[in-house]
Amino acid sequence: MNSIAYIAGTAILAGAVIMAFSLVFASRIVAELPLGPVRRWWNVLRALIVLFILGYGASIPLLLLRGAGPVHLVMGTMLLSGAVFVLLVCRLMLTTVSDVRRIAALEVENVTDPLLGIYNRRYLEQRLKEEVSRANRYGLALSVCIMDIDHFKRINDSYGHPIGDEVLKNLGNLLRNKVREVDLFARYGGEEFVMILPNTRAQEAIVLAERLRKAVEDSRIVVESGGRLEFDCTVSLGLTTATAGKRESRQLLREADQALHRAKASGRNRVEVFTAQKQAA
């Protein structure tokens, strides 16, 4: 066995070891990725890395047994360099994937209410501006509904805020499962929720709001906290619809809020629709 063969074999062996580290990084990348074509391609890359490792390992005995010349030394150096390149690519991609997932998680936290897991007020106001702009541009109807839990303060005062939070969570889940996929459901603040109903006229919005009101009225909210607590809750809803003409997001929220106050003043557990005539009265 000559020295060139030994050096070339050592380089190839080092390349195989480095490829093994690359396989570890590639496997971690696959674990980070969601199901889909990108993950499938990374599985293909993992299989290729395994084949490379086998090829590296098979070439070493042949090299040592038959001897080698300067060409084999160059080949060993190139294989080692290729392994280093694959390792760097996999390591950088793992860092990139982790950063993307972390940024995506931060973005979700930025638009999500931490207690209820639904959209928060910041995202609501952003989306409402976008929907108003789209409705104004294409002449579409747009409805906005504000919902408030009736007498929620009594629950907090009688059972404490932790129980009140559990009631909010249960109601939030109930309502989220009742809204349409095209609608946006968000927590506006406290025990108030807002729904944005794109391309929805007044009569359709009234039907949807009544369906939600009835769903809450017919449901019993159960909280397990050192015992079973059951609550019968109702909600009041204020509704407004933007039709033809320029409208602003703040104006729609203000109108829906005024209709909500009228619903609460009229006995609660009801839906009120904003009209200029009713507001004037």
pLDDT of 39 reads: 87
Residue 54 lies in a domain: yes
User: Is the sign of the CA dihedral 39, 44, 45, 47 positive or negative?
Assistant: positive
pLDDT of 63 reads: 67
Backbone angles phi, psi at 113, to 5 degrees: -70, 125
Give residue 15's pLDDT band: very low, low, confident or very high (50, 70, 90): confident
Q: Which of 71-75, 109-113, 188-192 reaches the highest mean pLDDT?
A: 188-192
Residue type, 244: A
Give residue 163's pLDDT band: very low, low, confident or very high (50, 70, 90): very high
Backbone angles phi, psi at 135, to 5 degrees: -65, -40
Do the Cβ atoms of 191 and 215 come closer than 8 Å? no
Give residue 68's pLDDT band: very low, low, confident or very high (50, 70, 90): low
Tell me the pTM.
0.66
Is pLDDT above 90 for 139? no
Residues 236 and 104 in one domain: no
d(CA 34, CA 249): 36
Residue 90 lies in a domain: yes
Q: Domain of 269: which CATH number?
A: 3.30.70.270
Task: Tell me the average pLDDT across 60-79.
Answer: 71
d(CA 258, CA 273): 9
Q: Of 131, 191, 192, 255, which residue is the catalytic one?
A: 191
Structure tokens at 162: 């932790």
d(CA 71, CA 26): 31
Distances from the Cα of 270 to the Cα of 85, 127, 221, 241, angstroms: 67, 26, 19, 17
Name which of 74-78, 166-170, 260-264 the model is least confident about. Answer: 74-78
Torsion angle, alpha carbons of 30, 34, 36, 37, to 10: -40
Structure tokens at 273: 């629709």
Q: Domain of 208?
A: 121-280
d(CA 232, CA 44): 55
Residues 271 and 139 in one domain: yes
- Average pLDDT, whole number, for the chain? 87
Task: Tell me the average pLDDT across 4-15.
Answer: 80
Q: Strand ranges (DSSP E) for 191-227?
A: 192-198, 220-224
d(CA 135, CA 221): 37
Residues 18 and 90 in one domain: yes
Give residue 168's pLDDT band: very low, low, confident or very high (50, 70, 90): very high
Chain position carrying tokens 């499962």 = 177
Q: Which of 18-22, 56-60, 192-196 reaches the highest mean pLDDT?
A: 192-196
Chain position carrying tokens 């109903």 = 197
Residue range 236-248, pLDDT digits in tens: 999 999 876 667 8
Residues 152 and 237 in one domain: yes
d(CA 172, CA 167): 8
* Whole-number percent of the chain with pLDDT over 70: 92
Per the annotation, the verdict on 107 as an active-site residue is no
Number of domains the chain contains = 2
User: Is the sign of the CA dihedral 31, 33, 36, 40 positive or negative?
Assistant: negative
Residue 77 lies in a domain: yes
Burial of 197 (0-12, 13-18, 19+ CB in 10 A): buried
Task: Tell me the average pLDDT across 137-150.
Answer: 93
DSSP 8-state symbol, 118: S
Is pLDDT above 60 for 281? no
Residues 263 and 136 in one domain: yes
- Residue, of 253 and 77, whose pLDDT is higher: 253
pLDDT of 277 reads: 53
Residues making up the chain, counted from first to last: 281
DSSP 8-state symbol, 12: H
Give residue 98's pLDDT band: very low, low, confident or very high (50, 70, 90): confident
